[in-house]
Amino acid sequence: MSHRLIRVDSGGNYGVQLRIHRGMQLCMRGWGVVSPRLTTVTGTLQKTRAGVHAVSAHAPHDKDTDEAKNTFWHELQITVLNLMHDDDFFIFLAIDANARLGHGGESASVGHCDRDLETDNGARFQAFLQSSGLAAVNTFFECGRQS
């Protein structure tokens, strides 16, 4: 498989970052850059001694090529599966999936809130979540709704 180098442009496209509040008191044990769209940080919270893997990801836009989307979702899947080998660590995924999740029944990974006409990235995101045993928690609650 050929990889072309994608650099973050002046508009901030393609890049990812993780900002961890000092109050979390994270003792960083390592970090990795998988691609300009995917990075990880591993550490231990000092107060609780809990291990944490934080993943920051930015999916290609729906209009991008299938090759770019396939590469991204594959790299994300492999990265998360490798991190899951640490049973004593929590995984937090912060992702701009550039996805709309479609109408349909709830699953263990995606709830019923704010469903829309599903996009290609939406289907890819949902498949990734289900195969990884993760959940888009904001889809299970009426987030941001005014009463």
112, part of any domain = yes
Whether residue 1 is contained in a domain is answered as no
- Would you say the C-alpha torsion 35, 36, 38, 39 has a positive or negative sign? positive
The answer as to whether 6 is a domain residue is no
Residue 64 belongs to a domain: yes
- 10 lies in some domain: no
Residue 8 in any domain: the answer is no
Q: Write out the two tokens for 95.
A: 């992702």
Tally the domains of the chain.
1
pTM beyond cutoff 0.85: no
Q: What is the pLDDT of residues 35-51, one digit of tens each?
A: 989 999 999 998 899 99
More confident of the two residues 71 and 117: 71
Indicate the pairing of strand 51-58 with strand 89-96: parallel
Structural domain for 129, as ranges: 22-139
pLDDT tens per residue, range 89-145: 999 899 999 988 776 556 777 777 666 778 899 889 888 998 888 887 777 776 655
